[in-house]
Amino acid sequence: MITFINNAGAAIASRKIVERTGNIKWLTREEPFAPQDSGWRVLSDRDTAEYLDDPKNMTVVDFNELCNLEPACIGIYDLPIGSDIQLVVDPDGRRRWFDNKTEKEISFR
């Protein structure tokens, strides 16, 4: 695993992401509950309400593991607590982040 962000801490993610049966899609950043918690909560494009109702379907992962699975996550790490975003992958493979509250694309320039 490549470390993209030193001391990035952990995130809580859908097991579908870790097991590679789903892709990173929805992310929110909450107030961390421990010093090693980044606050990021990550759901996949295949998660359903029923799936998410079972706490066993979520797991703790190093944020860098998510970045290794989806390098587009590197750029969003420093977004503030309260962020609610989604990753859109265009047909040509281009990755774009959108703010779910404003429905606007997030620019990192």
The confidence score (pLDDT) of residue 108 equals: 77
Strand order in the sheet with 37-44: 58-62, 10-14, 37-44, 24-29, 84-89, 95-99
**SS3 category, 106:** coil
Query: How confident is the model over 23-60, as pLDDT tens digits?
Result: 999 999 999 999 999 999 999 999 999 999 999 999 99
CB atoms within 10 A of CB 69: 18
Q: What is the CA radius of gyration of the chain?
A: 13
pLDDT in tens, 66-95: 999 999 999 999 999 999 999 999 999 999
pLDDT in tens, 3-26: 999 999 999 999 999 999 999 999
